[in-house]
Chains A and B, each alone.
Chain A
Amino acid sequence: MSASDEVALDLEGVSKTFLGVRALTDAGIVCRRGEVHALVGENGAGKSTLIKVASGALLPDSGTVHIGGVRLEHASPVTARRLGLLTAYQDTSLVTSMTVAENMVLSEYGVRRMGIRLRRESAAKILAPFDLPFGPGELVSSLSPASRQLLEVARAMAHHPKVLLLDEPTAALDAENIQRLEALIASSLDEGAAILYISHRLDEVQRIAARLTVIRDGKIQGTYGRGEWSTDDSTAVDDIVALMVGARTDLAFPAKPGIPDDAPEVLRATEFRGPRFGPVNLHVKAGEIVGIAGADGNGQRQLVRSLVGLLHGAGEVEVAGKIADIHSPAAAIANGITFVSGDRVAESAFRDLSVMENSTISLGQELGPVGLVMRTRQRRLFRDAATSLSTVFASPDQPMAQLSGGNQQKAVLSRAILRPTPLLVVDEPTQGVDARARLEIYRALRRQADDGAAIIVNSSESSELEGLCDRVYVFSRGTVVKELTGDGVHESAIVDAFVNVKREPTSSEIAAEQETSFAASHPIRRMARSPWTPMLFVVLLTLLLAVYTATRSDVFFGSSNLSSLFVLMLPLAAVAFGQQFALLTAGFDISVGSAMSLVVVVASFWVTSDGFGSVLIGIIGCLFVGVTIGLLNGFIVRVIGINAIVATIATFGMIHGVAILLRPAPDGAVSFGLTETLNTQIGFMPIALIVIVGFAIAAEIWMRATTSGLRWRAAGLDEEASRRTGLPVQRIKISAYVMCSLLAAVAGLLLAVQVGVGDNNVGAGFALPSFTACFLGGAALTGGRGSFIGVMIGALFLSLLTNAVPLVDLPVATIQVATGVLTIVAVIAYAYSGKGNLDGRRKRPRPGGPQAGTAEPRESLEARIKSQQSPADIGQGA
């Protein structure tokens, strides 16, 4: 038994502060081999911060982490993984657009090999003992949330970890899958793993945990052995709940005046359902504050968002007796529903605008006639609202970003106070708000209710609901499991209701799952998402164009024309291959055109003699220029953190400037033996074509069949998941810029051979076609997609266009028009075929723009505080 006493994970005195908010205070926890150690606590108690510190994702302010007796020196996921600590995250670290097998391989980085070539087979072998309800070839996005969660856990276990962190692993699971998970945990324990199990569901903890630690407000409340709280003793459970909830907070909530029976009903929702919730029946009277409670992720958020038009719900909603059609937020407002989002950074604060602007933005006529904003009126209205809420600020013109969370929240709430509607829906009214501001917010809400508004408050803090609400609906798995009224509205009653809930999948969950599997198996959807579809389309287009041109021109199929076509295609193909590397990792490089020009100019100095040695040195010099440009771009974009578009526009100008400086006018002669070589043919195939096809195939194989190609794709598809899996994201992305510029340099050399003279602007026209070729091949700006063979065909098509247009007697300008139109068509086609994506993320292709995510897990408090920490007046993080 001595082995089971061995300490596998030891956290000591860990503290972490985010911008003045203490997330962890002197927290310590010890996990031993072969046992499950449960960590329980309410929402926001500091559980996830503790996990991030243990897994190396977060550097603590003080304290140490030891894994298997070795100190974790550098806070990075890959170091922790090397030491044998694996983490299964609640919102998973899987790249959803990849298959199960590919995700398994990704997890290998820096840890342990599971076999490279026959991935699917080896993944199947590794996953076999876990007995999972899906195959290795399936796309993760087509799996149900429960299956994804199981995969996340199984993937971590496949590494035979010394320490396994399981973050709320059962949140998405039904009873059957929970049994499955518990079997997995048992087998992992047999191997001697130490498991830190984070949960807020006490029934599970009772079944599997040998030890239990309670955390509240970032402080460890105590650790208890199994003997100290027996499974059948219900008083013990109450004690644990009491520890989680803590001492009663002595906040003086505003008095609840009670609702008269004859108060008119403002909201009545009948059989209301939507994504991840329902059907539910809700009603709220005028003057009433109704709370929505539950553990995070049980559909409360979706319900609230459906009520205010941000998601689409079905069922009947009546506001003040009239049926309301809520298809958008604007429609919700028109129907008398105001929404105050809890996600200040993403959805309610205009951080760069002033407090006054933020408070008065919803006002209309009150600000001035004929659409004018009169500053005096604006100031007066603002001052009234600010006084009633005791908002603190230095000047009405102070930017929102400089205020504390509490004052920001008050400014946001001012909108609802200045422009009251019959129904006010507030999501997390006091998240990240200090104690005093909380009270003022509660009072303001109560005042609104006293003035006749009906208010719905969704909150993950049960104590807040107890103090504030007249009535509370408790949610679990998307339905109301309990309705508490009057004196029954108690924190412990609320927590009790969702901690001790019987779990059975609701009809909406089953429906969601069925829909998922249907969508995944639908052949048309599947075809639309296949990487080969865009390519097929372009091949058809190319053939069509070729046949048409051949009918109109005799010379087209002549071997000299074809040969020159392929030679012309070389530079474009090379630079487009480069662009594809950048796009693969969600990068972007518009400076390739200038890079090509510069290399042509440099070649006109260095690659001038026919001597093999000096030509070789010259070529190497040119490639070196390319690498330097790539490093510069990578540095500016990834290290300094300037948006790729702007950064490469700037380097575009600078590189072009250098080219002009070197050759103010076309001069010098490029000559090397390649000119003839490229034009010679083997059989009827020009060498040029063989080179291009060879590179495309090699790159395609690299991308699809090697682990490094897989990692590059993963880094492009989902940077956060890749980082959690321990991939060297930064290195990959900078390498992609280098690769891009290097190939642009190759393209420059090939172009130099064709033009033969140092012209400083000869590459400029290649920037747009380099993108067009990639998009025709199926690439996307969001990264991770595309195909090198597709790029080649795209480049062939564009070259063919250039070649064919004069042959069929069309004006040359047609080429430009066609290229532009094709680019847009290709991007639109991709955008629409991509809508079949089931991960529910509509990534908006805008740098750093907040995502209007629908079903995404809510950002943690820490993440939000961190994002507040980042530059206030730019929105270009990514």
Chain B
Amino acid sequence: MAEKEKKEKPKIPRQKMPEQEPRVRAKNFNEVPFGYTPELAQLEASRCIQCKKPKCIEGCPVEIDIPAFIKLILDGDFVGSARKLKERNSLPAICGRVCPQEDQCEKVCIVGKKEEPVAVGRLERFAADWEREKGEVFIPEKAPATGKRVAVVGSGPAGLTVAGDLILKGHEVIIFEALHKTGGVLIYGIPEFRLPKDIVQAEVNYLEQLGVKVECNCVIGRIETVDELLKEYDAIFLGLGAGLPQFLNVPGENFCGIYSANEYLTRSNLMKAYLFPQYDTPIARGRNVAVFGAGNVAMDSARTALRLGADTVRIIYRRSRDEMPARIEEIHHAEEEGVQFYLLTAPIKFLGDDNGWVTGVECLRMELGEPDESGRRRPVPIKGSEFQLECDMAVVAIGAGPNPLLPTTTPGLELNKRGYIVGDLETGKTSKTGVWAGGDIVTGSATVILAMGAGRKAANSIHDYLMSK
């Protein structure tokens, strides 16, 4: 009977999170959605049919027991739900916000076959926020000390996951971070309005409470090399991220006011230039902004420019809407806030004034041709379609590559032809004994959750290695 009842249950629509009005939020840096209330969370949780063979778990890169954590929300045990999440995912408040659930758990949700899928991400966020805001964060028991020491290079999602997993297994863990703050892309890349920095800080604090040591301002490859670290530590994990900005390589790209997305977002997020002059780092406040690229980073840049007072922000992308790599939710939020989309448009050169400041960009119209090696239809320039767009600021958000600083100072570390570290996808092992790697530095720019998944696998492999050593 219960089974039948469950199957018939979803008549309640997928619950939206209350959020700031687009016109209001486009002028502030506060987080866009407010999150579920307990009532909304329980209503949404009641849409889950608790499948006997849940597909959602398989859809999750870290295999969270999704039906179980949702059931606990339904039962009103919100703290218990957060702990269930943390059995598999040490950063649920972050993943609930930035995971592409529509391509993972929610994509395969059985409810989603007939109606909209259960809002797994919003529920994850709710439970994690509840635990943190109520001060109920639980410090688990650690395994007895093993006497083994592990150095984690980089404090982004991969590094934080490795550190969290290995400290619980009884190893000594130290994180080396190159910047002055921990969190990697979560701190310098993702804006406050999408991921409040307090949440990232809380996750790092939690690791420190567990006993993880954190040293900022350490650029490994300069202050210590990997080989030097290997003398002091039994294992090393490299979670370096994709820290090399790509540029368009068109004439005029070094005019003032043209930023890489890394620089623009780092100024705004890490350095808090949006609070200038309370904070000392300046940032150009363009009135008329062009953003190149159409991924999540491009959307973040465009929306940051709006919040810094731009009248016009244009996303310029050489393919069409269908090929835009950003999450639908991010594109939707950007459009709601007034970002304009210039699709099938490619920049060919920048224009500037006598002071060397950008004044515009010359573009070409494109049309879609045959599919290329990525399977997407290749954009082909339309002859004679050149036109100019004015802009007083531009952001190049067309992707990032591997930062060569550490790899080039580490002999014996195999790189692929694009410069990424070759790491086993199941274990994270590199060509160098005692050294593991994972996240964007292995796969190229991907998602927070995939980096965490890679961190989890590497942590398991490191643990096996340390215990058999």
Do A and B originate from a single complex?
A: no
Interface, chain B (partner A; CB < 8 A):
none
A residues lining the B interface (CB < 8 Å): none
